[in-house]
Structures are given as structure tokens and as C-alpha cells.
């Protein structure tokens, strides 16, 4: 069967509008489409393929596990799931792990756990969840309502209740809302979809303090920032602010679907037998690949390498901006970078994405005003340099009109 992009419009629900290009294979940070055109990948499947495409360690883990056992369900546990959980808890503040299959599911578990913890410890009146405008936490109805863009949660009938939103990087706005009725505050320790917005250190520390004052749990959504993305294993480590619950997905499986919620024993113990679950959560294939990804990323040279690559990107992007004056700011951390467009180009991030694709470069946007890069954490210097040359040609095209 000849597969074409037109088939998408015939047989797929129209909630996405994918590119005309259909990639068929990838290696490292290079991808080839059906016509064998080659692309450089600065998008990483939206911060997922943290080791590029078909990394040998991940291919090996998947192949080996595929000949052992694929699936059991949670009626039984399995070796890869327990090995990975041991490594995640050894490397972080957490004592316990819950496995899911996506970021939204990990967040759903975190929010349900927070509600249950509050009910058990403080009673029914402590159910308020506070999150932040522009925050993104996934597309289940609970997580999308906690997210800070009403446009994503409107139009589906009555929403889950007792959820309010404060301003990110504005401690006063949180102070006005938080009370002893607050059960949890959920935030990204660097807003991704919202426009690559890092928190100030004072803000992050202040959020932690306010949570402590009001006996509220702090949930860090590290679905996008986790697994080395910021140059730290998890972004909270760089911030020096420790949450009570942390969620991780995207890069966790390096391209194989898996999510996880990490927490302390004191909190996690409230998710008692039967309170929550997932058929696929902790699937052996997913956990085997995630273990290989974790082992590869959680090494000093890889994490240091992220910081070096950050500098190479930022220098290159500043040089482009000196010639073309399109960005008001290049921001972000590690290999989660945002080029904020200046007044003249505001609202046109998609144009830069389309122009990049024409130059055989895959990039992302974060809202209408920010061009986002989230490449492989081990992308080569040559691929960065060549990709930036392609990006410069794309910028020149947009500027020329």
C-alpha cells in the first residue's frame, strides 16, 4: 500500500495538522523522509528522543527484552520495572515510583494522590489545587483543567472543580490564593509549552515555603524538563528546591512511551491497593528501554555535555540575531531553548518553523511567539553547526518575506 499524507485527512480525526513530510527512518540527529530527503532534528519529537534516533543502547535493550517477555499487567511485577524504579529512587529525593504511559497520566496520578493524601490527613475541605497561567500538564480532563490555558479545557462540559491559577514568577499572586484549604501546588520548574520560561530562584523557593506554611504538597511537573534536559538529571536539582511529588515522561523512554510519578514514602503510602492503576504501567519493554536511557543519560559527561551544547546553541543564535534582529531574547536551560520573537515578528513562530522545514531542519514552537529547540542531548557539534546554518537560511527567508 502506497502511504501518502492525504490518507491522514481521510482516516484520522482532525485534531492534528501534521506536516506534509512523512519521516521513515532516523539515526542520531538525522531523519529521512519517504523521498529520502534528509533533515537535522532540533525538535527531538518534542523533547522525547533524548539520545537521538535508534541509539544503539536503546535498540539493544528493546531487542533483548523483546525476546524475553512483553507484558504482564500489574497482577505481577517484573524485573525491568523494579530495576528502573530502584535507579530512579536512588538518584532522586523519591522513595517510591508509580508507572504510567505518558506525561498526562503521570500527572493524573500525582493530582489524585495529592487529593487522597489531603483527604486522609486533613479532611474533605482541603481539596484546592493551585497551578499557574500558561502551565501545561497534559490533555486528560483533570490535567488540562489544571493547565493554565482555558482554551484547551473549555468546550467539554463541566470541569473538575477546586482548581485555581496564579501567575508564574509572581509570588504575591500565589500568596493571595493559597490557604490551609490548598492540597497541592503544581508547577513546571521551567515552563515548556508556555514559552520556555524559567522560574526565578526566589520564586521557586517562595513556592516551596508557602506550601510548607499551608501544609500543601508541591508537585513538580518535570515531564519536559526531566532526564537531563536542563543539564541536571532533574531540573529541581539545579534549582535547589525539592518537591513532594515529581512527574517524568517524554525523555524517560527516549522515544518509547512511558511516564512515572516519583514521591516520598510518607505521601506515596496513601495510594493504597486498589486506589489507582494502569494496565500498561510498568510494561517490561518500556521499562527496559527507559533503564537503558537512564543509564546513558545519568552520567557526568553527558550532563556536562548538555551545558556545553547549550553554549554552542546560544552563541550561534546570538550571531544569527546580530545579522537579522528577529529575537528579543534567547532563553532556556540546557537543551530546552526558546528564541522569543521581537515585536516585529510576534505571532509568527510558525512561519519560522515552516521555513526551517523547507531548509531541512526540524524545530518546534512554544506558543505563537517562541521558536523552540529540544534536540538530542548527545547531538554532535557538526549537527548543531549545520543545523544552525540551515536555521539562519530559514530566518533570512522569513526576514526577506
Ligand X SMILES: *Cc1c(COP(=O)(O)O)cnc(C)c1O
**Site for ligand X, rule CB under 6 A:** 102-104, 107, 136-138, 188, 192-193, 221, 223-224, 249-250
- Per the annotation, does 104 bind a ligand? yes
From the CB of 356, what's the least distance to ligand X, in Å? 21
* C-beta of 249 vs 379, nearer to ligand X: 249
- Per the annotation, does 139 bind a ligand? yes
* 3-8-13-15 Cα dihedral, nearest 10 degrees: 130
- Per the annotation, does 223 bind a ligand? yes
* C-beta of 103 vs 281, nearer to ligand X: 103
Contacts for 398 with CB less than 8 Å, ≥ 6 apart: 326, 345, 348, 351, 352, 355
Rounded to whole angstroms, the Cα distance separating 245 from 358 reads: 42
The question of whether 327 is a catalytic residue gets the answer no
* C-beta of 104 vs 370, nearer to ligand X: 104
The question of whether 323 is a catalytic residue gets the answer no
- Is residue 333 within 8 Å of 198, Cβ to Cβ? yes
Question: Which of these is catalytic: 41, 42, 134, 136?
Answer: 136
From the CB of 105, what's the least distance to ligand X, in Å? 7
Q: Which of 186, 178, 165 is nearest to 110 (CA)?
A: 186
Question: Which of these is catalytic: 221, 244, 369, 383?
Answer: 221
- Per the annotation, does 4 bind a ligand? no
From the CB of 75, what's the least distance to ligand X, in Å? 25
Q: Which of 141, 118, 312 is nearest to 217 (CA)?
A: 118
Rounded to whole angstroms, the Cα distance separating 12 from 9 reads: 6
Rounded to whole angstroms, the Cα distance separating 132 from 167 reads: 6
Cβ neighbour number for residue 274 with a 10 Å cutoff: 6
Give the residues across from 365 on adjacent strands: 371
- Is residue 334 within 8 Å of 190, Cβ to Cβ? no
The question of whether 90 is a catalytic residue gets the answer no
- Per the annotation, does 224 bind a ligand? yes
Give me the residue whose beta carbon is nearest to ligand X.
Answer: 103
From the CB of 221, what's the least distance to ligand X, in Å? 5
| Feature table: binding site for N(2)-acetyl-L-ornithine | 139, 278
| Feature table: binding site | 103-104, 136, 139, 221-224, 278-279
Q: List the catalytic residues.
A: 136, 221, 250
| Feature table: binding site for pyridoxal 5'-phosphate | 103-104, 136, 221-224, 279
Amino acid at each position: 500500500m502506497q502511504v501518502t499524507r492525504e490518507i491522514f485527512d481521510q482516516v484520522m480525526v482532525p485534531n492534528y495538522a501534521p506536516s506534509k513530510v512523512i519521516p521513515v527512518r532516523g539515526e542520531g540527529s538525522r531523519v529521512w523522509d519517504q523521498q529520502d530527503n534528509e533533515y537535522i532534528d532540533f525538535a527531538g519529537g518534542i523533547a522525547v528522543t533524548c539520545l537521538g534516533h535508534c541509539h544503539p543502547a536503546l535498540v539493544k535493550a528493546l531487542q533483548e527484552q523483546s525476546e524475553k517477555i512483553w507484558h504482564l499487567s500489574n497482577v505481577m511485577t517484573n524485573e525491568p520495572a523494579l530495576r528502573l524504579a530502584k535507579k530512579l529512587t536512588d538518584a532522586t529525593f523519591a522513595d517510591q515510583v508509580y508507572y504510567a504511559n505518558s506525561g498526562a497520566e503521570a500527572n493524573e496520578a500525582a493530582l489524585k494522590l495529592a487529593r487522597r493524601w489531603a483527604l486522609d490527613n486533613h479532611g474533605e475541605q482541603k481539596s484546592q489545587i493551585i497551578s499557574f497561567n500558561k502551565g501545561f500538564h497534559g490533555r486528560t480532563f483533570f490535567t488540562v483543567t489544571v493547565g493554565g490555558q482555558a482554551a484547551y479545557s473549555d468546550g467539554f462540559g463541566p470541569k473538575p472543580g477546586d482548581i485555581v491559577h496564579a501567575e508564574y514568577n509572581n509570588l504575591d499572586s500565589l500568596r493571595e490564593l493559597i490557604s490551609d484549604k490548598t492540597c497541592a501546588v503544581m508547577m513546571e520548574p521551567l515552563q515548556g509549552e508556555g514559552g520556555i520560561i524559567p522560574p526565578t530562584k526566589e520564586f521557586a523557593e517562595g513556592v516551596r515555603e508557602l506550601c510548607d506554611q499551608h501544609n500543601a504538597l508541591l508537585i513538580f511537573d518535570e515531564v519536559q524538563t526531566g532526564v537531563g534536559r536542563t543539564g541536571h538529571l532533574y531540573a529541581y536539582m539545579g534549582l535547589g528546591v525539592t518537591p513532594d511529588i515529581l512527574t517524568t515522561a517524554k525523555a524517560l523512554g527516549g522515544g518509547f512511551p512511558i511516564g512515572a510519578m516519583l514521591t516520598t514514602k510518607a505521601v506515596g503510602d496513601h495510594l493504597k491497593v486498589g486506589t489507582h492503576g494502569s494496565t500498561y504501567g510498568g510494561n517490561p519493554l518500556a521499562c527496559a528501554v527507559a533503564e537503558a536511557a537512564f543509564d546513558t543519560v545519568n552520567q557526568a559527561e553527558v550532563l556536562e555535555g548538555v551545558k556545553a551544547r547549550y553554549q554552542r546553541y546560544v552563541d550561534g543564535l546570538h550571531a544569527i540575531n546580530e545579522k537579522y534582529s528577529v529575537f528579543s531574547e534567547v532563553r532556556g536551560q540546557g537543551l530546552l531553548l526558546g528564541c522569543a520573537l521581537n515585536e516585529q515578528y510576534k505571532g509568527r513562530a510558525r512561519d519560522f518553523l515552516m521555513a526551517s522545514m523547507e531548509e531541512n531542519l526540524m524545530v518546534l514552537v512554544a506558543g505563537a511567539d517562541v521558536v523552540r529547540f529540544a534536540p538530542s542531548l548527545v547531538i554532535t557539534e557538526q549537527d548543531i553547526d549545520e543545523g544552525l546554518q540551515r536555521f539562519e537560511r530559514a530566518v533570512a527567508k522569513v526576514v526577506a518575506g
